[in-house]
Structure 1
Amino acid sequence: MRAGSETQKGNTTVNLLIGLAIVSLCFLAVWWYEKQAVESVPPQFADELEDEGSAIEEPDAPSGAIPEDPPDTLPGDEDEDIPPTDTPLTDAQGDVFAYLPVGDLLPLSGPGFVDDTVYRPDIVFPTEDRVFLNSQVYRYGGYQGSLNGMEGGQCEIANYDYPWQDTFCEKRSRNQDLCPGGGHEGLDIRPASCTKNVHWAVAVEDARVIDVRRHWVTLQTADGTIYNYLHLNMGALEVALGDDVAQGQRIGVISNDFYNSDGSSVATTIHLHFEMYENYVASDGADPLFTKVNPYMTLVSAYDAKLRE
């Protein structure tokens, strides 16, 4: 009985060793197969495998944290209703705002004056409604309109459309400091419609009314900038000499008031003539000159901000 028991125990040990050997061979075979598979992956995909592995090993969100929602759209499946970033800027009537470069005047209308400075980036636009900057003299309704084939009245629909056009240094009857051969040191702003005494002009900044005479109102800011508003209805102003006005406050309605120094009336179109005085340096090293400057790009900037609001 003892010899048989020893023999049986020996067989059991042998079987156990054989089983362990078989398992070891299986693990070795699996290891060799995976090694060959990884080494056979082309180099351009090796990084992708590593990235995927590291992504799997990222820890879960800490307790109490709200996991991020999956994106609403996948790449290549963007929402077509989202407008592109370069969507044209439109006014209240849905018309696309556009403007010609500074200094680009109508042919035969004057030398122009290229100054792309935005002198006061924080002003509001000087009118409540949409407007059109263009010539009151060299377009329809102006006494020089025929020079460019624009014969007709000031209410021609073509006058009430974009793009804007600069009118600083248009040729007029006399020269000015910045406009030799020109003379118009301001910008003509046509109101939204060909109707006087309807559309409001407003203060572009907090300022004081320092002059009211004939056909213009003058505002000056605390740091010295001056603005002139011409051709308002002078009999129906909302401000008086010496008043302090707040940015955006109504000054008066746009009209066609225009008077000589003797009080006689001068014919003109319905528009706001807008002027701006600033320190202007003609060239590097030159002394600053406090004078009228071209506010075209300043008004473009203010109108752009107005439409975006």
Structure 2
Amino acid sequence: MRAPLIILILILLAVLALVGYNSGWFGTSATGPSPTTAGDILPGAPVGPGAEPDEPVGDGGLEQLPDEAQAQGPVDPVNTPDLPAAGTFGHFPAGELLPKSGSGYLDRTTWSPQLCFPFAEDAFANSQVYGAGGGMGPKDKPSQCDASNYSLPWRDNFCESRGHASPLCANGKGHQGQDIRPATCKKDKHWVVAAEDGIITDMGTYTVTLTGAAPPHRVYRYLHMRMNQLAVKDGATVKAGDKLGLASNDFGGTPTTIHMHFEIRSGVSGVSTDGKPVKLHTFLPPYQSLVAAYDRKRAGQACQ
């Protein structure tokens, strides 16, 4: 009696094992694609231990203490396959710097797609170092108030030749942001405003840092405002378009030309549109975002 019973039990176990295998009870299915095939991997999902997403992560920026809130995950950027269209206002393409002023960096990612233009009035993006009146400017134009500094077209100067670390630049060094002159060559008159809703997370000798409230917590740093006439304090909560301070030439103990240096830093890691790694806190090219924001401003669109 025992032998037939044992045989019957073995047969039942074999049947159950076969059904379980085909049904995926043990984590593997005999039919259909493997869990590691392309059909089962969502676009942008990490693959393998410590892997980064296979698509560029979103706009970002973070310059704050390590124990403060970080971005929770990647956010898709707004990619523009072509250069900004001419015709809205005069501007050179991204990455096209003044001759002999640096290598430039052509990046087609609008890292801050809803950026509020950081001046309340019109302004002129160009080089303050290599422009008229700058330390490396043309000798025949010694005045920073020269008309060439206060007229179109705009010109990118991210990665302009400087000694500051900037990983996306060709040799790892260069200008970390974009210089923007106010509407006129007058200091302490033209308002600089918040790029998005956020918190003032740091105030230095001549710097103000704004961290975006919403993921991916972009960080914007403003340099050279009139520091003793700021409209905000460290820790203040601001809305996009709120006044921060007046464009000036504060630079510690050494004055610079009248302008505002504007930076965007990454808050999440990923890659740029040309495949360069973008780590947390990397300086990002702000020019494309500024061009789009200025277009919206000129069209009368309010900051949100």
* TM-score, length of structure 1 as denominator length: 0.64
Post-superposition offset of 1:178: 2.2
Out of 115, 133, 151, the position equivalent to 2:141 is: 151
Post-superposition offset of 1:124: 1.3
The answer (yes or no) to whether the contact 1:139–1:150 under 8 Å persists in 2 is: no
Q: Which runs of 5+ in 2 are unaligned?
A: 1-84
- Relative distance call for 1:105 and 1:237 in structure 2 (3 A) is same
Q: Which runs of 5+ in 1 are unaligned?
A: 1-85, 90-96, 260-264
Say which SS state the counterpart of residue 199 (structure 2) adopts. Answer: strand
Deviations 1:212-251 (CA, angstroms, capped at 9, x unpaired) = 1100100101222100010000000010011110111000
Report the counterpart of residue 28 of structure 2 in structure 1. none
Equivalences for residues 1-309 of structure 1 within 5 A: 88-89=87-88, 97-146=89-138, 151-179=141-169, 180=171, 182-222=173-213, 223=215, 224-259=217-252, 265-278=253-266, 279=268, 280-282=270-272, 288-290=278-280, 291-309=282-300
Cα distance in 1 between the residues matched to 2:124 and 2:225:
16
Higher-helix-fraction structure: 1
- Relative distance call for 1:198 and 1:168 in structure 2 (3 A) is same
RMSD over aligned Cα atoms: 2.1
Say which SS state the counterpart of residue 171 (structure 1) adopts. Answer: coil
Cα distance in 1 between the residues matched to 2:277 and 2:104:
23
* TM-score, length of structure 2 as denominator length: 0.65
Q: Would you say how many aligned residue pairs link Structure 1 and Structure 2?
A: 210
Deviations 1:18-60 (CA, angstroms, capped at 9, x unpaired) = xxxxxxxxxxxxxxxxxxxxxxxxxxxxxxxxxxxxxxxxxxx
Cα distance in 2 between the residues matched to 1:169 and 1:129:
26
Cα distance in 2 between the residues matched to 1:236 and 1:135:
25
Matched residue type, 2:202: D
Cα distance in 2 between the residues matched to 1:136 and 1:87:
23
Matched residue type, 2:222: Y
Deviations 1:246-302 (CA, angstroms, capped at 9, x unpaired) = 11100000000002xxxxx12310000000012451478876412110010000000
- Relative distance call for 1:142 and 1:174 in structure 2 (3 A) is same
Q: Larger C-alpha radius of gyration, 1 or 2? A: 1
Q: Which has the higher contact order (CA 8 A, sep 6+)?
A: 2
